[in-house]
């Protein structure tokens, strides 16, 4: 019926030609639904340890594409808020995003980003380029700067398989800062409080041409090292059967490694650590 409202939006909003950005559509008609809308009154800063915070996520390129992984722990100060948090999500068929930072805002931002990419493709008839996807996510993070300055930062990690890039360079990794700065990373990267330890492990273990299994083991080793030195990062929980999320993106699209495969790799890694607590040495090549 004329005059009906859908989710508070006037009917004409859905039929008026406009931007291919769903974020801009919401900003024009329902800005309060944006995850970057102020969650705290002006001048108020979030008290440390009052909101769940997620770490650690990482990515590395390998022979067939790019791998992205994350631990499962969320913390509130010195408390474990959640043991099985999902920090790695598909954004579309050939793109995935993981996050460190304020969990509630991060999950809303990921969902909005997923809709953003779908909306663009439906309106324009073609998907965004991978570089454009990274730029669009950077703009969304920049809109959250006021929240980040109040202690509610979200720092995503974006990976994708670039079908237009030359062979050997199709797996790509993009990092961001809380102000929306965009940086493409070569070979590997990590974000979150455990990232210095994860990057150190990847620096030791990474080499070009890794197989999927080798890349997954390197990611699990890096997350194990992060958990070993950072209390906010969770390692494999063998008793509860909670393991890191490991996903790959290849020419065939996004795939999350099945839990049995991740469990087998994690248990293999833990057995290796029993014999060598400091982990495998750097490869000779």
Residue 4's pLDDT band, with cuts at 50, 70 and 90, is: very low
For 229, the token pair is 């030195």
Structure tokens at 56: 């650690």
Element (H, E) at 188: strand 188-191
Q: Please report where in the chains the tokens 């959250």 appear, as a residue.
A: 144
pLDDT in tens, 89-114: 999 999 999 999 989 889 989 998 99
End-to-end CA distance of the chain: 70
Q: What are phi and psi of 35, to 5 degrees?
A: -65, -15
Torsion sign, CA atoms 25, 29, 34, 38 = positive
- Does residue 55 have an active-site annotation? yes
**Residue 145: pLDDT band by 50, 70, 90 thresholds?**
confident
Q: Which of 55, 233, 250, 262 is labelled catalytic?
A: 55
pLDDT tens readout for residues 164-190? 888 878 999 999 998 899 999 999 999
């Amino acid at each position: 019926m004329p005059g009906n409202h859908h989710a508070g939006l006037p009917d004409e909003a859905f039929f008026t030609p406009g931007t291919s950005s769903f974020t801009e559509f919401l900003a024009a008609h329902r800005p309060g639904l944006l995850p970057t809308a102020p969650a705290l009154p002006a001048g108020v800063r979030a008290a440390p340890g009052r909101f769940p915070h997620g770490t650690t996520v990482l990515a590395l390129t390998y022979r067939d594409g790019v791998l992205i992984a994350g631990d499962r722990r969320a913390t509130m100060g010195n408390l474990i808020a959640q043991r099985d948090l999902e920090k790695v999500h598909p954004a579309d068929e050939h793109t995935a995003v993981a996050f460190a930072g304020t969990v509630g805002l991060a999950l809303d931002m990921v969902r909005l980003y997923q809709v953003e990419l779908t909306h663009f493709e439906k309106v324009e008839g073609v998907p965004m380029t991978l570089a454009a996807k990274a730029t669009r996510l950077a703009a969304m993070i920049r809109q959250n700067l006021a929240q980040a300055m109040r202690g509610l930062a979200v720092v995503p990690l974006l990976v994708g398989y670039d079908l237009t890039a030359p062979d050997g360079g199709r797996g790509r990794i993009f990092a961001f800062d809380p102000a929306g700065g965009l940086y493409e990373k070569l070979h590997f990267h990590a974000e979150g409080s455990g990232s210095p330890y994860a990057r150190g492990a990847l620096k030791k273990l990474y080499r070009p041409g890794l197989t999927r299994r080798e890349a997954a083991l390197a990611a699990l080793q890096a997350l194990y090292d992060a958990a070993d030195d950072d209390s906010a990062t969770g390692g494999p929980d063998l008793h509860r059967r909670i393991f890191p999320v490991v996903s790959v993106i290849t020419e065939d699209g996004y795939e999350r490694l099945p839990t049995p495969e991740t469990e087998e790799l994690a248990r293999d890694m833990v057995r290796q650590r029993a014999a060598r607590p400091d982990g495998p040495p750097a490869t000779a090549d």
